[in-house]
Amino acid sequence: GVTRHYKFDIRLKNVTRLCQTKTIVTVNGKFPGPRVVAREGDRVVVKVINHVSNNVSFHWHGIRQIQSGWADGPAYITQCPIQTGQSYVYNFTITGQRGTLWWHAHISWMRATLYGPLIIYPKHNTSYPFAKPHKEVPIIFGEWWNANTEAVINQSLVTGAGPNVSDSYTINGLPGPLYDCSAKDTFKLKVKPGKTYMLRIINAALNDDLFFSIANHSMTVVEADAVYVKPFETDIILIAPGQTTNVLLKTHPNPQQTTFLMAARPYFTGQGTFDNSTITGILMYDNLSASISSSSNTSIKNLPIPTLPPINSTSFVANFSNKFRSLANTQFPANVPQKVDKQFFFTVGLGSNPCPKNQTCQGPNNSSKFSASVNNVSMILPTTALLQSYFFKKSNGVYTSNFPSVPLVPFNYTGTPPNNTHVSNGTKVVVLPFNTSVELVMQDTSILGAESHPLHLHGYNFYVVGQGFGNFDPKKDPANYNLVDPVERNTIGVPSGGWVAIHFLADNPGVWFMHCHFEVHLSWGLRMAWLVLDGELPNQKLPPPPADLPKC
């Protein structure tokens, strides 16, 4: 591989959306941020220089960071934030991965404007397991607030109420023609007839799973979270925050019109405030005969919006997620750990607001505020980084190694929300010896109305060996695990009122964050960390940190 150098200058920039101009934090003045492009085996070196008053840190979402845990990026987990005037060089090698990933800021809600695609091409002389597409196009969903997003989350943390919902969704930073004065801010994908395009779809939205569809066109899913999958055709995809999905789009050889709408809209099962608006972009055939162009050049607002499932369509979602399978062939084997060394059962869910009498509900901020937790523990971020504390043996007072392997309060979900809002708080990790084969079942508690949670694990891909609704049954459910061709990914939706089982091999030493990728749940404490110890061999150890690692 070669070394690819990037420079991220963190600067303010005035950006106008929805008729309002606001000052946002950007990478190199770009919104969305620049593409980082590399090839499997390359080293990527990104120098971040912080010229703004906010603290920043950057995460390379889905990169395994094998023996480069210092470059993973979540603030207070693997590094202290990069403060005003400081710089930090992220330096990592892309090993055994190719596909679509993305990068984003990993501190507070800074990722609302600091995000971009991270595209990894296969090694030279290696091809895709499908015909080379005519063109590849990143499609990155986001959310836009007219208000300052740091103020939005800080207000929520102070008042204990849910944060204000975003003012629009965006496709490649653009809200599209259905929002006020946004017609000029519409993503247009220009295509030629009879060709195959690969869309590299990324959900960088903060708080919503999204359905996506293109009118009169179907898609073939070929990759999820930078791992090839057995191809399947679909009219609609669902994508959770953090996830990436590559699809092949075949354009019509003789289209009868030039312009089609593409649309995305949230999947949401809970109650409460949410944005149920639809975002649209345009698929536009180029170079068609003038007659078609002029006749179909009507108002975009009159074009039919592609059909999307109802906002709470859990059945579509379950069906869709069951279609993902690893290729599991000789070229791309599925190395599913078959034997398990350690089993964990985690409840994931929201706490309560206000805290009911006779219960403790200590979120990260205040006992009376809204909280979210894993196994009834709402994680408090330390004031120094976990990885540094571990490496320099200064963990005393920073974290404890007693994260519970089962919920603190026994969990039973019978369809009616269980009375299980007990939450404690703390900074606890699970310690795993090197090469531990882990089975983790995550059960959605649905205490405050059903809600799915996209759980993201740093530093690893995992295999999704099982999922289901209701209570996980340790006697029956494991018999149905798929240990042959389960999908391999880094972010999985724990279904609303259901569970998901994953397997991973802890072969990467370091401290690895795991959290809900809904930014609001992350802020409320739905997060924990795994500490994976060094192995015996020199190439199984975490090297010392780079000299410029920021200090708290």
Q: What is d(CA 306, CA 309) in angstroms, rounded to the nearest whole number?
A: 10
User: Identity (one letter) of the amino acid at 280?
Assistant: T
**Binding residue (CB under 6 A) for ligand C2O from 515, 516, 529, 549:** 515
Q: Which is nearer to ligand C2O, 453 or 517 (CB)?
A: 517
Indicate the residue whose CB is closest to ligand C2O.
Answer: 61
Going across the sheet that includes 87-93, the strands are 20-27, 3-17, 43-50, 87-93
Q: Which is nearer to ligand C2O, 61 or 489 (CB)?
A: 61
Restricting to residues 317-356, which ones interact with ligand C2O according to CB under 6 A? Answer: none
Phi, psi of 33 (to 5 degrees): -70, 175
Does the footprint of ligand C2O cover residue 456 (CB under 6 A)? yes
Stretch that binds ligand C2O, among 176-184, 212-220, 418-426, 512-520 (CB under 6 A): 512-520
Q: In 251-303, where do the E strands start and end? A: 259-267, 279-285
CB of 435 to ligand C2O, least distance (A): 23
Q: Which is nearer to ligand C2O, 265 or 456 (CB)?
A: 456
Phi, psi of 247 (to 5 degrees): -130, 150
Does the footprint of ligand C2O cover residue 513 (CB under 6 A)? yes
Tracing tokens 């990933």 back to the chain, one arrives at: 101
Restricting to residues 458-477, which ones interact with ligand C2O according to CB under 6 A? Answer: 458
Restricting to residues 153-212, which ones interact with ligand C2O according to CB under 6 A? Answer: none
Largest CA distance in the chain: 74
CB of 426 to ligand C2O, least distance (A): 19
Give the interface size with ligand C2O as a residue count (CB under 6 A).
11
What are the Cα distances from residue 315, in Å, to 310, 319, 442, 471?
10, 6, 19, 17
Q: Which is nearer to ligand C2O, 61 or 428 (CB)?
A: 61
What are the Cα distances from residue 81, in Å, to 154, 200, 290, 326, 420?
18, 30, 55, 37, 35
- Is residue 410 helix, strand or coil? coil
Phi, psi of 246 (to 5 degrees): -95, 135
DSSP H helices in 163-313: 290-295
Restricting to residues 236-265, which ones interact with ligand C2O according to CB under 6 A? Answer: 242
Stretch that binds ligand C2O, among 337-345, 382-390, 478-486, 509-517 (CB under 6 A): 509-517
CB of 490 to ligand C2O, least distance (A): 8
Stretch that binds ligand C2O, among 116-124, 371-379, 475-483, 510-518 (CB under 6 A): 510-518
Q: Which is nearer to ligand C2O, 422 or 515 (CB)?
A: 515
**Do residues 332 and 326 lie in contact, with contact meaning Cβ atoms separated by under 8 Å?**
yes
Does the footprint of ligand C2O cover residue 453 (CB under 6 A)? no
- H or E stretch at 83: none
Q: What is d(CA 359, CA 424) in angstroms, rounded to the nearest whole number?
A: 10
Q: Which is nearer to ligand C2O, 104 or 369 (CB)?
A: 104
DSSP secondary structure, 141-197, as one string: EEEE-SS-HHHHHHHHHHH-SPPPPPSEEEETTB--TTSTT-TTS--EEEE-TT-EE
CB of 348 to ligand C2O, least distance (A): 15
Restricting to residues 56-115, which ones interact with ligand C2O according to CB under 6 A? Answer: 59, 61, 74, 104, 106
Q: Which is nearer to ligand C2O, 275 or 519 (CB)?
A: 519
Q: Which is nearer to ligand C2O, 282 or 430 (CB)?
A: 430
**Site track 30-59 with ligand C2O (rule: CB under 6 A), x = hit:** -----------------------------x
Q: Convert 506-532 into a string of H (helix), E (strand) and C (coil).
A: ECCCEEEEEEECCHHHHHCCCEEEEEE
Q: What is d(CA 240, CA 141) in angstroms, rounded to the nearest whole number?
A: 10
Q: Which is nearer to ligand C2O, 369 or 458 (CB)?
A: 458
CB of 57 to ligand C2O, least distance (A): 11
Stretch that binds ligand C2O, among 78-86, 390-398, 427-435, 511-519 (CB under 6 A): 511-519
CB of 515 to ligand C2O, least distance (A): 6
Q: Which is nearer to ligand C2O, 106 or 200 (CB)?
A: 106
Question: Which two three-digit tokens encode residue 433?
Answer: 């010896």
**Chain residues in the site for ligand C2O (CB under 6 A):** 59, 61, 74, 104, 106, 242, 456, 458, 513, 515, 517
